[in-house]
Structures are given as structure tokens and as C-alpha cells.
Chain A
Amino acid sequence: MTLLALEGLAKTYDSETNVLEDINFQVEAGEFVSIIGPSGAGKSTLLRCINRMVDINEGIVHFENTNIGLLKKKELRKLRTNIGMIFQHYNLVPRLPVIENVLHGRFGYKTMMQGLLSQFTEKEKRQAFFLLEKLGIAEHAYKRCDQLSGGQQQRVGIARALIQDPKLVLCDEPIASLDPNASQVIMDHLKSITSELNITCLVNLHQVEVAQKYSDRIIGLNEGKIIFDGPNHLVTKDRINHIYGTESKKLITV
């Protein structure tokens, strides 16, 4: 079943240079897709067009057969509850405890008053603790987020995305500020999201090897255009060079 379909998507911030040009691809439910490409290729913008954190200039984005470009404010809120998002810098509220940050993921389902009074149901709270347990940070539930390490904070970010009960999770450079060990933990968790919960993952990555190891499919982006789209075993050294342009040699030897 096709979950997400992009048709002729284009985005420009200053109406002169196109950040994204003619992006076409489809994502099936339960797929794990990585988007690789050099900095400034438009990876982050591409993800943010899918949940309309940035407005689309041209083209259509279909999510479960709704055209998200046409959604009004309320419908857009409803759409966003279906799409979780994970960020490079975790984007938590550092001064608040872990458990509160996780429950923030439920705001999309709340009326204004329920949200303001923090009225969460027993089920939601149990779910929050279940997720923290699963991600291995249950013992930190009442600690402030700024006391946690980077890897732990990113796991809080994952819990916040999962408690939304999403069909799709967008990950914007989830491991770019983490050390190799923490990176592996985070990528394993993301992988298990797709394999166990059948949630689709769309991940922006810098590291080609990581993308090859974890994804079912890789999309290569350069200067706003898709120049590769296929299963990861087709990603050869030549193709990586092509995606990364002249920078590639340095990137691979390091």
C-alpha cells in the first residue's frame, strides 16, 4: 500500500534558487528509506515539505490519499498527529522532565483546554512508560532532559514521536550529533520501529555506510534533485561519487 507519494515537488525560499526540483517518489507502508546527499542538498527541506513545516511551492504530496497541500489548519493538525518527527538536536524542552516531554507527543489529539491542564489519560501515561522502558531509559523518567546524554535525549525524542501513534516517522539527521555507539543504538531503535511496529521511516543521513546497513531503499539527493533511487544493494561506489559530487573521495576515505 502506498503511504506517501510525491509528485513534481518543488520548493524555493527566495524565488530564485530552487532548493528542491521535480521530486517524485513513492513510499510503501513499512519501508525504511534513507535519503543521502551532501549538506545543502535539500534533505531537511524535503522532510519538512512532507508534514508541511515549510510550505510547498509546486507539485503535490499525497499522504494516505489526502493531498496535504490543500489542508486547512485543523486538518493539518490532524495530519501531523499521523507523522512523527525526530530531529538532529532532539528539540526537547530541556528544563522539563523526560516523561512530560514524551507526553508532549499527545498534544495533537487534545483540545486546547485538555492540553493546557495536562489532562492525559491513564492509558497514555502507561504507554509513555512502556515506550521509555522499551527504549531503555525508564529509570530517567523523572529527570530533567538536560541531565541526559545526547543518545538518551534522542531516545526521548523517539518516544515522543512514537506516542503519537504515527504511520510515518520523519528523522532529520537523527545521529549527526552522536558518537558511534549512541548512533548505533538510535539506528537499531529506528529499524525496530519499522520491523516491529510496521511504521514507515524516512531518514535523512550523512553517513553512507549507515544508510547502506539499515535501509531497504536509498534515495540520493544532490542540489535539490533526486539522482538515485533504488534498493541499497544497488548503491555502488560510482553512484555514491555521483551523489556526493567532488566531495566524495574525502568522505569515503575518512
Chain B
Amino acid sequence: MNEKLMNRRKWNKTIFLFIIIVITYLSADITNFSFIHGITAFPEAMGWIFSNLFITQESLEKLPTILEKLNETIFMSIAATTTAAVFSLFLGIMGSKATKVNSFLSVLSRFIASTARNIPVVAWALILLLSFGQNSITGYLALFVGTVGFLTRAFIEAIDESSQSAVEALTATGATYAHIVNKAVIPESLPQIISWILFMIETNIRSATLVGILTGTGIGYIFDLYYKTLDYNAVALVTFSIVISVIIIELISNYIRKVIL
């Protein structure tokens, strides 16, 4: 009996694997994607990258301009994240089961969060581009909206997870809503909230590059500029500086996380 069950499980696995292979093959076939071509083209592509995308003495002269734009991008991401965090904290408190004021506001805040989250930041940038034009406000707003969506969701979960029991206890002592939120809910979920904000700053620096290409601001703009003028050495330098700055930000936020948790 047990052996039969084990055998059936084994068969299930084999069939499942087979189905995956069929699906992969079909989707490659439908989209005209050839594995063989992909693999044979790979060395050539790598060769191109190594022969064109390297940093030269000449491109290093552009470093000050690049760093200036990079700064702009980083600070825009931080500004978008922190201002969005204030909004999200409010929405998160309204949306959480533990601290909601009424069901209407709870559903509303969850709805705002999911709309903002489920439309990609790039799509937001394109939509906002129509009404705000090509400037840094557009980029800022696109990041802001995407961040509100994500952070609200994360904050709702952080608050739900950490504070339900303390909320109950403080309600039973006769504390007001403001007391409960400020003295129990926020202190208890603060480390998680900060951790999510740091994560969002990292993510936003990456997204800001992409958004910048569309809105013509920051490091994205300069990347696009060099790319279109075929100055691949400068493109390499821009990419390199983005990678370095993201790594540095990540190290800093990891350190902060370790200290606060």
C-alpha cells in the first residue's frame, strides 16, 4: 500500500518534469527562440562586450559629469522613498487588521496600494510623462507611486505580524487610539519598517536608472546619451559606477539593519 503510494509519487514527478520540458519547447517554438542560436551567439556577444565595453583613459575624463548625475539619481531615489514611506506608514496603519479605524478605510488603503504596486514603475513613468513632461518631477513621482504601493503592503504585514496582542492589551487599559499606535504599534514594528525602507532605497536606485532613460534625467539620461552616440567606453563607466554605488548602498543598509534588529 505504502509502496504503491511511493511509486505513484515517483511517476508523478517524472510526468511533471516531462510536462515542463514540453511547455518550454512549445513556448520557444512559438516565439521563434532558438536555443542553438542563443548558445552559438553567446561567445560572439561576450567578445563584443569585452572589446567595446571597457573603461579607457578618455572616458575617465567624463567621470565628474557622471558622478554628478549619479548623485542626482541617488538623492532622488532617497527623497522619493522617504516621502513615500511617510504616506505608506499612514496607509499601512489604516490598512492593517490590528490598527484599522474602519473597514472602508482599510479596503481603500489596500486598494490604493495594490493599484500602485501592480502597475510597473516604468509604466508609471510613461503615464506621468504625458502629463508632467520630461523632467525630474516625473521620475520622482513614478518612483514615489511605485514605492507607496510596495511599502504600504510591507508595512501592513509588519504591523499585523508584530502588534496585534499589544494593541489588545492597551485597548483593555483604556488607552486611546493615538496612544496605541504611537507607543505600541510603531515601536514594535519600527525595525521592520526601517528595513523595508532601506530595501526600497536600493531598489529605487536601480529603477531610477531605467526611469531616467525614459524621463531624460539623472544617470539614466547620461547612459542613454552615451549609448546613442556610440560612446561605449563611457557607457561602461556609467554601468560600472552604478554597480559600485548600488553595492555601497547595500553594504550600508545591511550594516544599519544589523545594528537595529
Chain A residues packing against B (C-beta within 8 Å):
51, 53, 76-81, 83-85, 87, 89-96, 100, 104-110, 112, 115-116, 118, 157, 160-161, 164
Contact = CB atoms under 8 A, between A and B. Distances in A.
B165 A89 contact: yes
B172 A53 contact: yes
A116 B168 CA distance: 18
Nearest to A104: B170
Nearest to B165: A91
Main secondary structure of the interface of B (DSSP, over half): helix
25 contacts: A53-B168, A53-B172, A78-B174, A80-B172, A81-B174, A85-B169, A85-B172, A87-B165, A89-B165, A93-B166, A93-B183, A94-B188, A95-B188, A95-B191, A96-B187, A100-B183, A104-B175, A104-B184, A105-B173, A107-B173, A107-B174, A107-B175, A107-B179, A110-B179, A112-B178
A51 to B, nearest CB: 6
Contacts of A76: 174
Nearest to B171: A53
B176 A91 contact: no
Contacts of A79: 174
B175 A115 contact: yes
B172 to A, nearest CB: 4
Contacts of A164: 173-174
- The interface centre, meaning the residue of B165, B173, B187 with most chain A CB atoms within 10 A of its CB, is B173
A142 to B, nearest CB: 15
Contacts of A107: 170, 173-176, 179, 183
Tier of interface size on chain B: 20 to 34
A157 B170 CA distance: 11
Contacts of A81: 173-174
B169 A80 contact: no
B254 to A, nearest CB: 21
B175 to A, nearest CB: 3
B176 A92 contact: no
A115 B176 contact: yes
A217 B196 CA distance: 51
Contacts of A108: 173-175
- The interface centre, meaning the residue of B165, B168, B172 with most chain A CB atoms within 10 A of its CB, is B172
Interface of B: 165-166, 168-176, 178-179, 182-184, 187-188, 190-191
Given A95-B190, A108-B174, A112-B179, 8 more contacts: A53-B172, A81-B174, A83-B172, A84-B172, A93-B187, A94-B188, A104-B184, A109-B174
A230 to B, nearest CB: 29
B148 to A, nearest CB: 25
B188 A93 contact: yes
Nearest to A48: B172
A6 to B, nearest CB: 18
Contacts of B169: 85, 87, 91-92, 104, 157, 160
Contact of B173 (A89, A95, A100, A160): A160
Contacts of A80: 171-174
A89 B171 CA distance: 16
B183 A115 contact: yes
A164 B171 CA distance: 13
A18 to B, nearest CB: 23
A88 B170 CA distance: 15
A84 B171 CA distance: 11
Contacts of A92: 166, 169
A80 to B, nearest CB: 4
Contact of B182 (A84, A91, A116): A116
Contacts of B191: 95
